[in-house]
Amino acid sequence: MARKGKLNGTVMTRREFVFNLLQEGLVPVCFTNGRSNQYRLYDNTNRIWYIVTKTEHDFAKYLLDSGKIVSQE
């Protein structure tokens, strides 16, 4: 997850991206479209989401399930 991207004009690693979104209250969800799955970090109150890879989705689930990050929901 060393690949970099931008969120709100800030360059960060994908790991930091996942951490920041989880701290803002987004949760990992998986949508099944026929044969394929689409992984998202989803905000139910504002109905926004970011498409992430399976690795990022699993990492987000791990952080929430282990209690390393507490969701703001």
As a whole number, mean pLDDT of residues 13-28 equals 92
Say which residue, 1 or 20, is predicted with more confidence: 20
In the predicted structure, residue 49 carries a pLDDT above the cut 90: yes
DSSP string, 14-68: HHHHHHHHHHTT-EEEEEEETTEEEEEEEETTTTEEEEE-HHHHHHHHHHHHHTS
In the predicted structure, residue 68 carries a pLDDT above the cut 70: yes
pLDDT above 70 as % of the chain: 86
Would you list the domain boundaries of the chain?
A: 14-66
Tokens representing residue 35 in the block: 């044969």
